[in-house]
Amino acid sequence: MQAIWRPLVLALLISAATALPHSALAQVEDQEAAVINIVDGDTIDAQLADGSTHRVCIIGIDAPETVAPGRLVECWGPEASA
């Protein structure tokens, strides 16, 4: 029974994602930025040309956490931040 749920859930997620109106998706211009700090293995602080800074989490990278509030530093976390 469990084997049938996985394809159904996947199909539901795909149909929900494609049903979103285009205007509901974030519209962001490409901008150059300088990396000013490496927070941990998948998070950086970036500074835009106007001087504003933004914390950016890089999607698709699973790195050990080092600065998660209320959590211990995970194994190899300091090395991932170096």
3-61 pLDDT per residue, tens: 555 666 555 555 555 555 555 556 667 888 899 998 877 888 999 889 999 998 888 87
> With 60 as the cut, is the pLDDT of residue 2 above it?
no
Q: How far is CA 2 from the centre of its chain?
A: 29
Task: Answer yes or no: are the C-beta atoms of 35 and 55 closer than 8 Å.
Answer: no
Tally the domains of the chain: 1
Task: Check residues 54 and 67 and name the one with the higher pLDDT.
Answer: 54
Task: Find the domain containing 55 and state its range.
Answer: 32-62+77-81
Q: Which amino acid is at 12?
A: L
pLDDT of 1: 45
> With 50 as the cut, is the pLDDT of residue 82 above it?
yes
In a domain, 56, yes or no: yes
Predicted model pTM: 0.52
**Among 62, 66, 61, 60, residue whose Cα is nearest residue 79:** 66
